[in-house]
Structure 1
Amino acid sequence: MSPPFSLQPALEIDTLQLLPLQPADFAALYAVAADPAIWAQHPNRDRWQQPVFATFFAGALQSGGAFKVVDKATGTVLGSTRIYDYQSEDNSIFIGYTFFGTKQWGKGINLAVKALLLDYLFQFVEAVRFHIGAGNVRSQIAIQRLGACKVAEQEVAYFGELPKLNFVYEITRPFWLEKRQPTASANP
């Protein structure tokens, strides 16, 4: 079911922009994704290879909820993330498929991007969930720092890939609204 809100608004803070992913973004995003270190703990460790990444990118475009993450000062593409799988029954949605170049690690970019998306999404939904590969300890720690709690384990078949075990983490609207003040600026 389609959500009653945009899956691809332009979002920004002082330093970053989340812009809807377009077909013309392939080269810039693959330049980031071509580093095998990025994918070492992800469910598909071969995404650094261009044909595998091309399938990942096609799925991102088809999802209608994928973003490129851009440094506002330089215009450099830093990585990508996605909003997907809206569930009207419990008014929830997922954030996932997130990756950043290794040069961006440890700089708070993942936290800033997730906070920006959460600020936007909690205007509309009651819960945001995250699929994180069972072996992706780095991402599990990062999402726990945001306050997410593990709520399930699930086999997930990513676009064009075989199913892999993922942990499902969740942040609820009441928790998030109590935890932080909104920062998102949306231009739907």
Structure 2
Amino acid sequence: MDRQPILETERLVLRPLTETDREALHAIASDPAVWEQHPIHDRWRREVFDAFFDTCLASGGALAVLDRRDERMLGMTRFDRFDPDEGGVVEIGWTFLAPRCWGKGYNPEMKRAMLAHAFASVALVEFRVGDTNYRSRNALEAIGAQRTTRYELEKYQGKRVIHLVYEIDREAFTGGPLG
């Protein structure tokens, strides 16, 4: 599966993340509101953002999200963990968008393109989201992703962080709100 495709929608272009995107993305990420419900709530801080950006860049699956009309940076997303076995599974996540994009259908438009691309190669897409990140949880449920009984535990700044696992399969995507 190509984890760094160029995807175009009516309003968006998703293209591979490059080092030259760092400053434009930091300008968006430096707004604490972007991270207020996220388990890594201080990603607006430069050093925390830079570590996140470096990880995304090294992942081989990160995508910059741009406005199709003027190529202005809107945010980023990522195809992450990929396992080709048993029909294939890939994780979509690590997404953040500028607050000016919230509630205007950009996330579902982006996820529709990403899911269509993924389901050409895999049978299942997973998402991991912080248990207190209700904005992201609601967004996932709105696109037809279902919460599983699986979760992952991590630590950040000495505190336990719970990530819930959501998923959507090819059939649910085709028959769901984005299909």
How does the TM-score come out when normalised to structure 2? 0.92
CA distance in 1: counterparts of 2:168 and 2:42, whole angstroms: 29
C-alpha deviation, 1:181, in angstroms: 7.3
Report how many residues are paired.
176
1:169 has 2:166 as partner: yes
Cα distance change, pair 156–62 in 1 and its aligned pair in 2 (3 A): farther
Instruction: Give the counterpart of 1:25 among 14, 21, 28.
Output: 21
Query: In structure 2, what residue type is equivalent to 1:178?
Result: G
C-alpha deviation, 1:139, in angstroms: 0.6
Instruction: Give the counterpart of 1:14 among 10, 17, 35.
Output: 10
SS in 2 for 1:97: strand
C-alpha deviation, 1:103, in angstroms: 1.0
1:85 has 2:112 as partner: no
Query: In structure 2, what residue type is equivalent to 1:97?
Result: W
CA distance in 2: counterparts of 1:98 and 1:29, whole angstroms: 12
Aligned to 2:52: 56
> What do the CA deviations read for 1:15-70 (whole angstroms, capped 9, x no partner)?
10001000111011111111000000111001001110000000000100001100
Instruction: Give the counterpart of 1:72 among 68, 75, 82.
Output: 68
Query: In structure 2, what residue type is equivalent to 1:101?
Result: A
CA distance in 2: counterparts of 1:148 and 1:180, whole angstroms: 10
Aligned to 1:179: 176
Query: In structure 2, what residue type is equivalent to 1:174?
Result: E
Do 2:142 and 2:177's aligned partners in 1 also have CA atoms closer than 8 Å?
Answer: no
C-alpha deviation, 1:116, in angstroms: 0.7
> What do the CA deviations read for 1:94-140 (whole angstroms, capped 9, x no partner)?
00110011111111111111111001100010000000011101110
C-alpha deviation, 1:163, in angstroms: 6.8
Instruction: Give the counterpart of 1:94 among 85, 91, 96.
Output: 91
SS in 1 for 2:90: strand
Unaligned stretches of 5+ residues in structure 1: 183-188
Aligned to 1:44: 40
CA distance in 2: counterparts of 1:92 and 1:156, whole angstroms: 22
CA RMSD, 1 decimal: 1.9
Higher relative contact order (CA 8 A, sep 6+): 1
C-alpha deviation, 1:156, in angstroms: 4.7
Query: In structure 2, what residue type is equivalent to 1:130?
Result: F
Cα distance change, pair 162–7 in 1 and its aligned pair in 2 (3 A): farther
Do 2:108 and 2:178's aligned partners in 1 also have CA atoms closer than 8 Å?
Answer: no
Query: In structure 2, what residue type is equivalent to 1:102?
Result: P
How does the TM-score come out when normalised to structure 1? 0.88
Cα distance change, pair 66–162 in 1 and its aligned pair in 2 (3 A): farther
Unaligned stretches of 5+ residues in structure 2: none
Aligned to 1:186: none
